[in-house]
Structure 1
Amino acid sequence: MAYQEYIPPVLKRALEVLTYIPTYGERSASRFVYNFLKLSPEERDEILKTLFELSRSARKCSECGLVSDTDPCRICSDTKRNKRFLCVVEESQDAYAIERLERYTGVYHVLGGRIAPLEGISAEDLNIEGLLRRIENYGVKEVILATNPNVEGEATANYILSLIKKRFPSVKVSRISHGLQFGSLIELADDLSLERSIENRR
């Protein structure tokens, strides 16, 4: 009998469906499932309940693209935020990492990824046209390019920079500084490095 036939169908299915999550392969799915099963029944129920509530209430802000439970999101609807400063990030988790610092008072724009030709992701797959519309509509003063400091993030930032300079030559464009190590991810950066990278943008 093949080893797969010994695995309970419900366990096998759980391992399969978790690979639907981007970056989750068999090993990541296996670690999640088996560690999840080590928790108490009460802890497992709480996680499942929370994920179910998240699945029902989560949506993308139609203005900036942030994952939120309201539309527009709390940041876009906050009248105290300065919409003339626009921070461009790859994903929602990058924006929330910056928010954790409680220093930035502008708004965000989520691209929904980065240009990655080897993965079949082009500029057309990102929310770049929405960014250009917001620059025009808000009369944006500065665009802060906060894509990840790696090859794909740099390529994405340079592409957006060229578009902005062509269509909005008077708009200031800055890039977060390399207080973050090249090849790192914004969402995983420590607060001090992230804060320095924002403050020392160039």
Structure 2
Amino acid sequence: MFEDYFPKVIKQALEELSKIPTYGERTSSRFLYNFLKLPKEERDRLLESLIALNEQIKVCSECGLVSDMDPCRICQDPKRSKRFICVVEEPQDAYAIERIERYTGVYHVLGGRIAPLEGISPQDLNIDKLLERIEKNAVKEVIIATNPNLEGEATANYLIKLLKKRFSKLKVSRISHGLQFGSFVELADELSLEKSIEKRTSFP
């Protein structure tokens, strides 16, 4: 039987890798076998970096970014304006925007997007903390930078209605220009991201 010949250590590793969101059997298998092709010295360095990551990484209690400190470096920076909040789905989206070195506000990580088919509702997202930050810091503008796809648009529309209802004088805008529908913020090139933020759409 197949189970008699298949190494148990590989099976266990594949099972653990498959627990990573979006990592199915094929992706996990591709990653594992490519990892095994590396020289042992490189595998050791990779494992050491992952162990260090696991031990040192934190989640910012203010904005939700993954960082090596809490609050994160962005939230601690006195040069960053807390009156401008850019709302993103995941931490990697914020760091993608940081690459353009134009945005000088802070971020707020939702921790996902509204996806009814996956059982993800607004109550599952980090929205209450966003409302608290808006009140606490007298926020002037919230820039919604969810991904330009069906789930991202649904999340943006929900936030726009909620924020305009709760804070009548708050400026709420949505990045749009420069990003193709169905794409992801974290994968966008810097020029497209820059245009998307500069030409964001405001909602009355």
Aligned length: 201
Q: TM-score, normalised by structure 1?
A: 0.98
Deviations 1:64-99 (A, max 9, x none): 000011000000000000110000000000000000
The Cα of 1:192 is off from its aligned counterpart by 1.1
Structure 1 residues 108-187: aligned runs within 5 Å: 108-187=107-186
In structure 1, runs of 5+ residues without a counterpart are none
* Aligned-partner Cα distance in 2 for 1:78–1:116: 34
The Cα of 1:195 is off from its aligned counterpart by 1.2
1:77 aligns with 2:76: yes
State the secondary structure of the residue aligned to 1:5. Answer: helix
User: Which amino acid in the other structure matches residue 32 of structure 1?
Assistant: F
Two-structure CA RMSD over aligned residues (Å): 0.7
* Aligned-partner Cα distance in 1 for 2:58–2:184: 23
* Aligned-partner Cα distance in 1 for 2:7–2:151: 40
* Aligned-partner Cα distance in 2 for 1:40–1:195: 39
Between the two proteins, what is the percent identity of the paired residues?
71
In structure 2, runs of 5+ residues without a counterpart are none
User: Which amino acid in the other structure matches residue 38 of structure 2?
Assistant: L
* Aligned-partner Cα distance in 1 for 2:33–2:163: 48
State the secondary structure of the residue aligned to 2:18. Answer: helix
State the secondary structure of the residue aligned to 1:85. Answer: strand
Runs of 4+ in 1 over 4 A off after TM superposition: none
Task: Judge conservation of contact 1:149–1:178 (CA < 8 Å) in 2.
Answer: no
* Aligned-partner Cα distance in 1 for 2:40–2:99: 32
Partner of 1:66: 65
User: Which amino acid in the other structure matches residue 168 of structure 1?
Assistant: F
* Aligned-partner Cα distance in 1 for 2:200–2:109: 19
Partner of 2:101: 102
User: Which amino acid in the other structure matches residue 119 of structure 2?
Assistant: G
Task: Judge conservation of contact 1:64–1:109 (CA < 8 Å) in 2.
Answer: yes
Task: Judge conservation of contact 1:150–1:183 (CA < 8 Å) in 2.
Answer: yes
Partner of 1:54: 53
User: Which amino acid in the other structure matches residue 186 of structure 1?
Assistant: V
* Aligned-partner Cα distance in 2 for 1:158–1:130: 18
The Cα of 1:6 is off from its aligned counterpart by 1.1
The Cα of 1:5 is off from its aligned counterpart by 2.2
Q: TM-score, normalised by structure 2?
A: 0.97
The Cα of 1:178 is off from its aligned counterpart by 3.2
The Cα of 1:116 is off from its aligned counterpart by 0.2
* Aligned-partner Cα distance in 1 for 2:101–2:118: 34
